[in-house]
Amino acid sequence: MRVPRKPTISPSKMTTYLACPTKYMWTYIDSRGKWYLRSKSYYSFGTSLHSVLQRFHDSGDKGVTTTAEAVAALEESWVQAGYESQEQMMQALGEGKEIVEKYVEESLAAPVTAKTLFVEKMFRRDLGSFVLIGRVDRIDEREGGDIDIVDYKSGRSGVNEDDLRNDLAMSAYQLILQEHFPGRKIWATIIALRADSRASVSFSTEELEQFKQDMMALAIEILDRDWENHVPVAKSLCSKCDFLPLCNKHPEFHLDSE
Ligand code: SF4
């Protein structure tokens, strides 16, 4: 007899649910939602940059080792979807080239203090009634053996330690990696590419345990929710939401009730 697979929860799922439970339903439960999703230029921009940095840090990929190769790789992997005009897209491409050029130039000039272990890798941690999963941009091993989870952000104008402490995904990654690297200190680092700034934090065991309890309560709330009888409730983000036409079809949904 086949054992049923445990449900999975990811930082993206939890973040979507916290923003709007109905959005979670259209994204992950009710398949009608996918017909309403529109491409977003900021996702395309982020995906394009990520793909170049992934290749730059991947020791098995020798195609992106210089600034010129990084710029060529960006042109090659550029995602065009979601831009309002050709002009807007070309402006974003120009900005993207400047970002990868600067990033690669500075990385090549900096002293080597860490070894990259993984790029773009999915990790999982079984937490009993569900499995916590997360795709990590990069994992480095610092000199001395500490583990560093590195996440690139392409839209932020800066980053500080508080941002990291309040970032659900970075906390979840630390929790997942704690099991994969027992006894090692785990750091979480965000690199704000546009601002060329970075910040790192490492949660204490107590902080991570508290996060685990809070996160498990949230995950169980999501998984146990009665989605069959869910009634959409208007939010401040409705006017810009792709799913508004779907929510509008529900007789109990009123946009002006928010
Ligand atoms: S339209 Fe509003 S209620 Fe419906 S999914 Fe979007 S944000 Fe949520």
Provide the residue ranges of all domains of the chain, joining segments of one domain with +: 40-110
Whether 29 lines ligand 1, by a CB cut-off of 6 Å, is no
**Does 257 score more than 60 pLDDT?**
no
Distance 8 CA to ligand 1 centre (A): 23
**Does 258 score more than 90 pLDDT?**
no
User: CA–CA separation, 168 vs 174, rounded Å?
Assistant: 10
Q: Rg (Cα) of the chain, in Å, rounded?
A: 20
Whether 189 lines ligand 1, by a CB cut-off of 6 Å, is no
Q: Give the pLDDT band of residue 1 (cuts 50, 70, 90).
A: low
Checking 162-168 for CB contacts under 8 A at 24+ apart, the result is 163/190, 163/199, 164/188, 164/189, 164/190, 164/199, 164/200, 164/201, 165/201, 168/11, 168/14, 168/15, 168/18, 168/215
**Does 191 score more than 80 pLDDT?**
yes
Distance 234 CA to ligand 1 centre (A): 6
Distance 217 CA to ligand 1 centre (A): 23
Q: How far apart are the first and last CA of the chain?
A: 48
Whether 234 lines ligand 1, by a CB cut-off of 6 Å, is yes
Q: Give the pLDDT band of residue 38 (cuts 50, 70, 90).
A: very high
Question: Taking Cα atoms as reference points, which of 55, 78, 63 lies closest to residue 152?
Answer: 55
Checking 22-29 for CB contacts under 8 A at 24+ apart, the result is 22/230, 22/232, 22/233, 22/243, 22/247, 23/241, 23/243, 24/222, 25/227, 25/230, 26/243, 26/246, 29/227
Contacts of 20 (CB under 8 A, 6+ apart): 235, 237, 241
For residues 18 and 215, the answer to whether their CB atoms sit within 8 Å is no
Q: Scanning the structure block, which residue is given the tokens 């009608």?
A: 32
pLDDT at 212: 96
Max Cα–Cα distance, the chain, nearest Å:
61
pLDDT in tens, 120-176: 999 999 999 999 999 999 999 999 999 999 999 998 889 999 999 999 999 999 999
Model pTM score: 0.92
Question: Per the structure block, which two tokens stand in for 144?
Answer: 């001395």
Distance 244 CA to ligand 1 centre (A): 6
